[in-house]
Structure 1
């Protein structure tokens, strides 16, 4: 499950798994398409470069923006996870923001506790330095990463907690948001079966 934008895929390449015949790559961007790199409004590799807003609100806003801008991609990606054969690998550029949101929703469907979802999200930070070193080697991501300290990119529990809180407040939780966007009880059953077995 490749959550990068079309321009990111074009600039960075489709990735090494495309050469493995047994692997099917499903591309479901979580950004509105049309910008030079990844985001229509920001027109740069990572859309969260503006530093004016409070960090918690800024990150939560981008996370909620994935759902607002691309509910079709969110639901389609979760359906692929639920219905396709084999294991699912979910990734974006760093594997923490877009990937973190999609995995948080999948874990919510599976019935994971909020604490477990937050722990899963925060675990991305364990390899953050290596992830950032890889991304800094790319002109697509380097300018954004070099514009602020590495610690600014760290996934913090409060980011995903606040994002999930927004879904609680506005929709009654992740599942009602999914249902409002075409997710069905059959989808729930299929994804729960895949993630619990």
Structure 2
């Protein structure tokens, strides 16, 4: 749904065959996660990330992602080292076959694996919330960054698996900086 789309509780309840109470609770949860705006006496609408909101989110994401990559490199990928290597191969295969619909879940999975590899559960949970918001903003603009993104991911995975925390953190920071630049360009017009 596009930003600003009105979400009518009664319609949603009818569509899913539930009462309005769980719909109201779901909308409240979505509001707390930033996906929905609730305005008293007007109801719920799909949120539209402002340029400032999107940039602030990217700054938070950068800090979390850099720390995650550094900790993951200290552990050489930990228990998910093989999965981290495999996902880069799967993404290359998806790119070579132009399977663009397979790319967004792989992007999300890559970043989840890096967070898991960090060994820090609290960090992984915070990053999960940030990544869900970020992926919501970016899924519409995937083709603008798909090729360079997996080159970045391959380099980050290599640094993590080789146990290079400084390099992994730097590469992740540069990777997120490209997304920040894309946010600025998308919201400039």
TM-score (norm 1): 0.26
Task: Report which of the two structures shows the higher radius of gyration computed on alpha carbons.
Answer: 2
TM-score (norm 2): 0.26
Question: Larger strand proportion, structure 1 or 2?
Answer: 2
Query: Which structure exhibits the higher relative contact order, with contacts defined as CA atoms closer than 8 Å and separated by 6 or more residues?
Result: 2
